[in-house]
């Protein structure tokens, strides 16, 4: 078709740019089994590492006898803390300003902790050798309850004994890590004292785990000739890993190449640094051969970063009419044996201070106490921005609890307390500036879509039938209006290990009008290669299909802080648009030269620059690209490429309204989701199909968390849920249908107005499911019950309410 005959709309459609439900380019290889994951990497002479792990949650390591293991043919080495100590690598820094044992240094602090690293010619020999390492332990008292830990004489972290200052201020007890306070304590307590109504409740968000399908692993390859270390691994932040490896190993950063190949899901689990990464590097340096380490499922569940485990004591104050006047929260945060929480440095409890949620709450106070226990370290943002799911769950439960206290409809209570559209940008009492929002519009749309009044009538009828003995099933309507805070973040207040949390994109246009773009982020299933090409396509008028996207290789990609906390689109997506705009600016000059007019006399038109007032005189981006490489243009360098490092001026604040309708069998505790409606406002929508996919995935993880998924410990600190038999990972069988919907409130400060969406469904989903359970029992007197709502805990609610006769 002749290009000139196409309408602008047709030309725009051909680009498959922003707004297009473009199919995922990644899926061609994934659906054919042609992905390239860490465990697919095979290098000549590669050795395999495997861990000896502690069976005890708290014990002194009396001795490690390697002899029998070393005697097994094919075993190359057995590393212990003693071997790493001369290199200073037996401990490593955590992202939270603490330090963590790489291999047990005298004691172990959680079950599954790494004690020795066996290196062998293949993984089978390594597994056999692990059995042959004899470790003598002396058991110590175990602390699994953070409240007990703060009272106990038992010192978990002997290495910190006497240190009254931690990375985040004073430590109040030898098992205390930090206190973090936000807001105005005195003013909030004054509001609580004078309020018409105060609802108080402990909201526990249990410990769970991101459980990506691909477990963590790495392949380290030290080339002793060039002195260059190549490290492949499951890294959500490859550049940060390179810097960390350089800092802790002493290797020059230019001699380290970190590659994140295809990653089979991260969800926060692959942000931090693990002992396996360090040990594979050390083993490769020691042996001069590549060393692979890949953990199994049980190791992943029991020893890599967990999520949540927040005990949130809340008080919410309101007038008789339901206008909220104040919010108070004290959180006891169980961080496990080491503080390896993955948060920006200045935020030891992440962005928990988003806990005023979607509501205009004038006065608020939040304090968080971090505590050491005999559990695995972590505290990562499992498919959410830093501690945002905890915050959203807290406020969405407190709203429900307040509604009960006020005897009000919870939908109406939310409506009268929402921040109004004309209040944005909105300064929250706990220190954030919400960029944009229109909560009332979204809420009304959601309630109308599900016929909220009709649902309440159904529920009322069900209650009558239940009381009349005609049914044993209750109906719960779970409401949530959440506000996320994502896109960390402004370098002025967000850094990780001192690295500012900007991100980057470099775009090179090839002479024939195709392009390659490289970013500082790394996709783990988000579809960056699809969506970021769409941003470029819309910005510079080249088809998305002609744009290759690369991430994850620190030798080629520009420096960036990686992918987690829904930051890729808000930060790297912005960098992508800005880099593209630099290219377009140069293209404008080239076009003007070619068209023999002044720069200001051409204007952008979808995929070309045309002379103002003479649209038939134009140069397409393809033509401009070729000219950039074959014409000597006065005053312009040849070539057409640009790089942008984007430091966002603010976070973005996606929001949404989720409604879950659930049937609950009071006799068995079984539940069934009858309907789930998810309205998301993530600002400008880049690819609606990918947004739907993100929502489906995120709500499914939320379902898992709310309805059964947990990392549970017994009193001895044994992990009770260390396999997928007991750790709930939903399959298609358990996953309900979801109805997705949207409103669009662009971010005013983001170049394309996008806010990020991948984590909203987890943030909104968890309270929606949990509130549905609570709502079903509300007419019978339930106020608060802790997740996960598995069969027996639901049964326990019914039993406690006298429903079993």
> What CA–CA distance (Å, rounded) separates 598 from 492?
40
What tokens appear for 170 in the block? Answer: 């004073």
Is 131 an interacting residue with respect to another protein (CB under 8 A)? yes
CA angle 307, 359, 168 (to 5 degrees): 45
Q: Is 296 in the site for another protein (CB under 8 A)?
A: yes
- What is the nearest approach in angstroms of another protein to the Cβ of residue 712? 7
Q: Provide the strand spans (E) within 355-400.
A: 363-372, 378-380
Interface with another protein, residue 134, by CB under 8 A = no
> Rg for the chain (alpha carbons), in Å?
28
Question: Could you write out the DSSP letters of every residue in 319-348?
Answer: -TT--EEEEEEEEEEEEESS------TT-T
11 is catalytic: no
Q: Is 733 in the site for another protein (CB under 8 A)?
A: yes
Closest separation in Å from C-beta 60 to another protein: 25
Which token pair is 499?
């690295």
Nearer to another protein by C-beta: 635 or 805? Answer: 805
What H or E segment, with its residue span, contains residue 710?
Answer: none
User: How far is the C-alpha of 484 from the C-alpha of 354, rounded, in Å?
Assistant: 8
Residue range at the interface with another protein (CB under 8 A); choices 256-264, 277-285, 434-442, 788-796? 788-796
Residue 383 annotated in active site: yes
**Does 731 sit near another protein (CB under 8 A)?**
yes
Is 298 among the residues that bind another protein (CB under 8 A)? yes
Residue 545 touching another protein (CB under 8 A): no
**Binder to another protein among 60, 173, 297, 445 (CB under 8 A)?**
297
Nearer to another protein, 254 or 804 (CB): 804
Stretch that binds another protein, among 226-234, 290-298, 335-343, 575-583 (CB under 8 A): 290-298
Q: Quick check: 726 binds another protein (CB under 8 A)?
A: yes
Choice from 221, 236, 721, 760 touching another protein (CB under 8 A): 721
SS3 content of the chain, % helix, strand, coil (to 5): 30, 25, 40
One of 111, 236, 459, 534 is an active-site residue; which one?
Answer: 236
- Of 79-87, 243-251, 731-739, 771-779, the segment contacting another protein by CB under 8 A is 731-739
Helix axes 621-630, 574-595, angle to 10 degrees: 70
Orientation angle between helical segments 688-707 and 760-777, nearest 10 degrees: 40
How many residues form the binding site for another protein (CB under 8 A)?
A: 30
Work out which of 62, 321, 792, 801 binds another protein, going by CB under 8 A. Answer: 792
Our CB check for another protein shows the closer of 211 and 324 to be 211
What is the side-by-side order of every strand in the sheet holding 503-509? 547-551, 515-519, 503-509, 641-646
| Rounded least distance, CB 722 to another protein, Å | 10
Applying CB under 8 A, among 128, 189, 465, 663 the residue interacting with another protein is 128
Q: Does 728 bind another protein (CB under 8 A)?
A: yes
Residue placing its CB nearer to another protein in the complex, 1 or 725: 725
The token pair at 637 is: 């360098």
What does the buried/exposed string (b/e) look like for 319-357 if buried means 16 or more CB atoms within 10 Å of the residue's CB?
eeebbbbbbbbbbbbbbbbbbbbbbbbebbbbbbbbbbb
The candidate with the shortest Cα–Cα distance to 387, out of 331, 320, 429, 469, is 331
123 belongs to the binding site for another protein (CB under 8 A)? yes
Nearer residue to another protein within complex by CB, 448 or 804:
804
* Residue the block writes with tokens 């880049």: 686
Which of 420, 612, 720, 786 binds another protein (CB under 8 A)? It is 720
Inter-CA distances, 692 with 354, 697, 758, 801, Å = 25, 9, 10, 39
CB of 212 to another protein, least distance (A): 17
Q: Which of 434, 336, 323 is nearest to 681 (CA)?
A: 434
Contact positions with another protein (CB under 8 A) in 628-667? 667
Told to check if 51 binds another protein by CB under 8 A, we report: no
Going from the C-alpha of 354 to that of each of 128, 426, 427, 727, the distances in angstroms are 49, 12, 11, 29
Q: Which listed residue (171, 759, 778, 784) is catalytic?
A: 759
The residue from 712, 718, 736, 779 that contacts another protein (CB under 8 A) is: 712
3-class secondary structure for 516-581? EEEECCCCCCCCHHHHHHHHHHHHHCCCHHHEEEEECECCCCCCCCCCCCCCHHHHHHHHHHHHHH
The least CB distance from residue 374 to another protein, in Å, is 20
Q: What is the DSSP letter of 173?
A: S
Residue 236 annotated among the catalytic residues of the structure = yes
Is 786 near another protein (CB under 8 A)?
A: no
Measuring CA to CA, how many Å separate 143 from each of 302, 519, 785?
16, 43, 24
Q: What are phi and psi of 799, to 5 degrees?
A: -65, -45
Minimum distance of another protein from residue 665's CB (angstroms):
9
User: Which of 376, 369, 266, 244 has its CA nearest to residue 312?
Assistant: 369
Minimum distance from residue 296 beta carbon to another protein (Å): 4
Nearer to another protein, 294 or 519 (CB): 294
689 scored as a contact of another protein (CB under 8 A): no
Torsion of CA 221, 212, 368, 275, to 10 degrees: -20
Would you count residue 791 as binding another protein (CB under 8 A)? yes
Asked if 473 is part of the footprint of another protein (rule: CB under 8 A), the reply reads no
- Which one among 1, 225, 632, 725 touches another protein, defined by CB under 8 A? 725
Token pair in block for residue 769: 């499911």
CB of 72 to another protein, least distance (A): 11
State yes or no: cis peptide before 788, omega within 30 of 0: yes
Which one is catalytic: 384, 494, 660, 682?
A: 384
Choice between 306 and 728, CB closer to another protein: 728
Q: Does residue 201 belong to the site contacting another protein (CB under 8 A)?
A: no
- At its nearest, how many Å lie between another protein and the CB of residue 121? 14
Neighbours of 552 (CB within 10 A): 28
**Nearer residue to another protein within complex by CB, 230 or 304:** 304
Q: Which residues contact 190 (CB under 8 A, 6 or more apart)?
A: none
User: Which entry of 383, 387, 397, 567 is annotated as an active-site residue?
Assistant: 383
Decide whether 158 or 667 has the Cβ nearer to another protein. Answer: 667
Q: Which residues are catalytic?
A: 236, 383-384, 759
Q: Which residues bind another protein (CB under 8 A)?
A: 123-124, 127-128, 131, 296-298, 667-670, 708, 712, 720-721, 725-726, 728, 730-731, 733-734, 790-792, 795-796, 799, 804
């Amino acid at each position: 078709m002749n290009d000139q005959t196409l309408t602008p709309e047709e030309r725009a459609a051909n680009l498959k740019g922003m707004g297009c439900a473009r199919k995922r380019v990644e899926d061609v290889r994934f659906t054919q089994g042609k992905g390239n994951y860490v465990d697919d990497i095979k290098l000549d002479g590669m050795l395999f590492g495997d861990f000896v792990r502690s069976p005890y949650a708290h014990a002194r390591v009396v001795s490690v006898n390697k002899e029998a293991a070393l005697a097994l043919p094919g075993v190359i080495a057995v590393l212990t803390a003693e071997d790493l100590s001369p290199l200073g690598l037996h401990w490593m820094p955590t992202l939270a300003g603490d330090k963590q044992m790489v291999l047990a240094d005298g004691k172990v602090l959680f079950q599954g902790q790494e004690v020795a690293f066996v290196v062998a010619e293949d993984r089978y020999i390594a597994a056999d050798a692990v059995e042959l390492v004899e470790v003598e332990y002396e058991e110590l008292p175990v602390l699994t309850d953070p409240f007990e830990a703060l009272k106990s004489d038992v010192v978990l972290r002997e290495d910190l004994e006497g240190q009254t200052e931690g990375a985040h201020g004073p430590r109040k007890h030898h098992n205390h890590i930090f206190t973090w306070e936000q807001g105005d304590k005195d003013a909030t307590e004054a509001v609580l004292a004078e309020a018409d109504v105060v609802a108080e409740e402990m909201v526990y968000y249990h410990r769970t785990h991101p459980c990506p399908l691909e477990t963590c692993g790495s392949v380290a390859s030290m080339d002793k000739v060039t002195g260059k270390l190549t490290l492949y691994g499951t890294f959500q932040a490859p550049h940060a890993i390179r810097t960390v490896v350089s800092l802790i190993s002493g290797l020059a950063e230019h001699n380290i190449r970190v590659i994140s190949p295809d990653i089979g899901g991260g969800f926060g689990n692959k942000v931090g640094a693990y002992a396996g990464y360090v040990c594979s590097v050390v083993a490769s340096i020691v042996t001069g051969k590549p060393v692979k380490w890949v953990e199994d499922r049980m190791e992943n569940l029991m020893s890599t970063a967990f999520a949540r485990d927040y005990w949130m004591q809340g008080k919410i104050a309101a007038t008789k009419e339901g206008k909220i006047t104040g919010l108070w929260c004290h959180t006891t945060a169980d961080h496990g044996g080491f503080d390896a929480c993955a948060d920006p440095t200045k935020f030891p409890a992440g962005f928990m201070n988003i806990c005023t949620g979607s509501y205009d709450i004038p006065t608020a106070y939040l304090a968080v106490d971090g505590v050491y226990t005999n559990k695995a370290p972590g505290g990562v943002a499992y498919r959410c921005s830093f501690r945002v799911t905890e915050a959203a769950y807290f406020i969405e439960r407190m709203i429900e609890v307040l509604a009960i206290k006020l005897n009000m409809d919870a939908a109406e209570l939310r409506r009268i307390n929402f921040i109004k559209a004309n209040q944005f940008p909105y300064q929250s009492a706990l220190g954030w500036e919400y960029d944009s929002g229109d909560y009332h519009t979204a809420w009304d749309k959601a309630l109308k879509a599900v016929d909220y009044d009709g649902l309440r009538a159904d529920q009322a009828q069900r209650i009558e039938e239940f009381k009349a003995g005609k049914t044993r099933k209750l109906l719960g309507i779970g409401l949530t209006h959440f506000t996320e805070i994502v896109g960390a973040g402004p370098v002025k207040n967000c850094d990780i290990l001192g690295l500012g949390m900007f991100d980057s994109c470099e775009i090179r246009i090839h002479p024939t009008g195709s392009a390659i773009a490289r970013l500082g982020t790394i996709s783990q299933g988000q579809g960056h290669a699809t969506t970021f090409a769409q941003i470029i396509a819309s910005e510079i008028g080249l088809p998305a299909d002609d744009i290759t996207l690369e991430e994850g290789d620190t030798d080629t990609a520009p420096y960036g802080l990686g992918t987690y906390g829904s930051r890729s689109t808000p930060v790297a997506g912005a960098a992508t648009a800005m880099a593209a705009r630099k290219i377009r600016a140069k293209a404008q000059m080239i076009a003007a030269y070619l068209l023999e007019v002044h720069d200001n006399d051409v204007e952008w038109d979808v995929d070309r620059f045309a002379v103002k007032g003479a649209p038939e005189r134009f140069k397409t981006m393809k033509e401009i690209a070729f000219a950039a490489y074959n014409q000597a243009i006065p005053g312009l360098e040849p070539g057409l490429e640009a790089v942008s490092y984007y430091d966002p001026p603010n976070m973005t604040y996606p929001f949404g309204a989720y409604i879950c309708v659930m049937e609950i069998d009071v006799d068995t505790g079984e539940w069934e989701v009858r309907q789930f409606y998810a309205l998301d406002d993530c600002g400008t929508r880049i690819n609606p199909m990918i947004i739907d996919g993100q929502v489906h995935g995120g709500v499914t993880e939320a379902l898992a968390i709310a309805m059964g998924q947990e990392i549970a410990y017994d009193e001895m600190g044994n992990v009770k849920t260390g396999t997928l038999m007991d750790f709930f990972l939903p399959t298609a069988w358990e996953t309900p249908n979801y109805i997705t919907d949207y409103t669009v409130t662009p971010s005013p400060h983001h170049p394309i107005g996008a806010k990020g969406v991948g984590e909203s469904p987890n943030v909104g989903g968890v309270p929606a499911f949990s509130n549905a359970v609570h709502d079903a029992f509300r007419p019978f007197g339930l106020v608060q019950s802790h997740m996960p709502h598995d069969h027996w805990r639901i049964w326990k609610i019914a039993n406690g309410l006298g429903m079993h006769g």
